[in-house]
A and B are shown apart, each in its own frame.
Chain A
Amino acid sequence: MDNRSPVSDSPSLILARQLTKRFGDLTAVDGVDFEVAKGEAFGFLGPNGAGKTSTMRMIGGVSPVTSGLLTIFGLDPAKHGPTIRARLGVVPQADTLDMELTVRENLMIYSRYFDLSWREGARRADELLEFVQLKERSRDKVDELSGGMKRRLTIARALINSPELLLLDEPTTGLDPQARHLVWDRLYRLKQRGVTLVLTTHYMDEAEQLCDRLVVMDKARIAAEGSPRELIDRYSTREVLELRFPIDQQPVLDGELNDVAERIEVLPDRVLLYTSDGDQAIAAVHKRGLRPETALVRRSTLEDVFLRLTGRSLVD
């Protein structure tokens, strides 16, 4: 059908070099570099407006690249959009299900878009409805489903063409904890089967649960890259001591705790002390006669990495 000569010899499934996306004066993605290997679960972590969705839309071959290099399966999305998309599954940020069709019909018609026969579409639809635990709802209209069920249906739909690469834009935003865990479980199973996952999220727990490797995005750029563990080791301490003080006392603390921890972040509602030993830090705080309302020692998370890199929280 078309000439599939790859533009890059890299074994990476996705390769981006100086990838840039501009909308008029707004630079949504500003010269980012990243690579995703086959079988990997790769995440874009960042707050809203960081450029995650724009990057995903370029990878999906829907949004034209403004400048820089981008290849998916070694192919240029500007020239081979349909060929690339035939091997991709896309879970968009907002559900794009057809509300006028039933659950099963949504999968059937999507299989047709991938040029599968009706018979094969029906077979895969039933299999996938089982996989996402929606078999009992297959004849229902989509608008009768809960948010979590719609999300699972969207994931099932993205799998109808047995994609090698699954793109998920904020797969669990807006879901309750139970629904999120079910989605994570299904994504984990896909990963076990060798499907490459690329996802965006602004939840650090999601990134930690699912991603082998991730990039932290902020203001259209990549601020750091690595595995969740590496990022925490590199940009944070082993433990964090979270202190809450009565509101009027907190500003006075400035400087007072500096030698108790390696680094201190003063947030509007709490003070974070970064240290290798949280209990020792509590003792030091108490020794200085300070009486925080609450004191909690926890392990560092990607949230702390993000705070360190950008000076802001992930979810405002």
Chain B
Amino acid sequence: MSLMAGTLHVVEHNALVFRRIWRGSIAVSFFTPLFFLAAMGIGLGGLVNRNSGGVNGVPYLDFLAPGLIAAACMQTAAIEATYPILAKIMWDKTYEAALATPVTIPDLIRGEVVWSILRMSIVATTFWIVMFLFGVGHSLSALLAIPASILTGLAFATPIMAFTATRRNDAGFAAINRFVIIPLYLLGGTFFPIAKLPLALQAVAWATPLSHGVVLTRGAVLGNISAPEAALHALVPLAYFAAGLLMARSLLMKRLAK
């Protein structure tokens, strides 16, 4: 079986399961940004704009919205890489079933990565449309925020998948959310500039992928980033993705091919 076929069949399996829940999932992808942008962008943003004339020279909504797309992809990737993957490893043993066919462990990983990209595409595109309806991002290049936020999510997808491959229960997933996802969500440059953080936290923010993803999406939407600068910022999430991919592969091999 070709490289692509194995990957495709793993994606198809996910799609078959998703077919049952897609309506609810898309509704969530639509209402979450709607409420967030209304409450934070317009409500809180109104206050920010009145008191300090926006952030970095743009209205708060324009500052906030693109960063939130990157953060939303991070959250989607994190959820997709934890419970569903552990279910396939040990609760439902879906991977064991798949590995009794010509499908291989690299096929499984490639398939999950492609599936994660598809899930994030839905989330990012819906979010982008809502943002557009709020009047932010009226240029063609603003669309680049979608691939940039997917790249951000991928930087979390593979390392968390590697972590999941080592788990015997779901206890660690709450910790990932509490100690990685939520702090980054709040402090990763989405809601206010990283420069406002204490120096130590600034270092943490720049060493992790979300802050770079936020720079990329914000740069795309506001049109204030140069190509070389963008390429530099893309390197960090890319590195996380690549390292995570190698770890996930070796840990899943250890777990499933005993």
A122 in the interface (beta carbon within 8 A) = no
CB closest residue in chain A, given B97: A96
Residues of B within 8 A of A110 (CB): 97, 101
B170 in the interface (beta carbon within 8 A) = no
Residues of B within 8 A of A115 (CB): 1, 5, 9, 102
Q: When the two chains form the complex, which single residue of B13, B256, B257 contacts A109, counting CB atoms closer than 8 Å? A: B13
Q: Mark A77-100, 1 if CB is under 8 A from B, else 0.
A: 000011101101010101011111
Chain A proximity of B159: nearest CB distance (Å): 26
Chain A proximity of B114: nearest CB distance (Å): 15
Q: CA of A243 to CA of B93 in the docked complex: distance in angstroms? A: 46
- Is the Cβ of B9 less than 8 Å from the Cβ of A112? yes
Interface size of A by Cβ–Cβ distance < 8 Å?
A: 32
Q: Mark B129-156, 1 if CB is under 8 A from A, else 0.
A: 0000000000000000000000000000
Q: CA of A103 to CA of B78 in the docked complex: distance in angstroms? A: 30
Interface size of B by Cβ–Cβ distance < 8 Å?
A: 23
Q: Mark A1-41, 1 if CB is under 8 A from B, else 0.
A: 10000000000000000000001000000000000000000
Chain A proximity of B92: nearest CB distance (Å): 6
Inter-chain CB contacts under 8 Å: number: 74
Given A82-B104, A113-B103, the answer on whether A63 and B98 have CB atoms closer than 8 Å is no
Residues of B within 8 A of A88 (CB): 100
Q: Mark B93-135, 1 if CB is under 8 A from A, else 0.
A: 1101111111110000000000000000000000000000000
- Is the Cβ of B96 less than 8 Å from the Cβ of A92? yes
Residues of A within 8 A of B97 (CB): 92, 96-98, 110, 157
- Is the Cβ of B93 less than 8 Å from the Cβ of A113? no
Residues of A within 8 A of B256 (CB): 62
- Is the Cβ of A23 less than 8 Å from the Cβ of B1? no
Given A1-B1, A82-B102, A109-B12, 10 additional A-B pairs, CB 8 A:
A86-B101, A86-B102, A92-B93, A92-B96, A97-B92, A98-B92, A101-B16, A109-B16, A112-B13, A113-B101
Closest 7 CB pairs of A and B: A113-B101, A82-B102, A96-B97, A90-B100, A96-B93, A112-B9, A86-B102
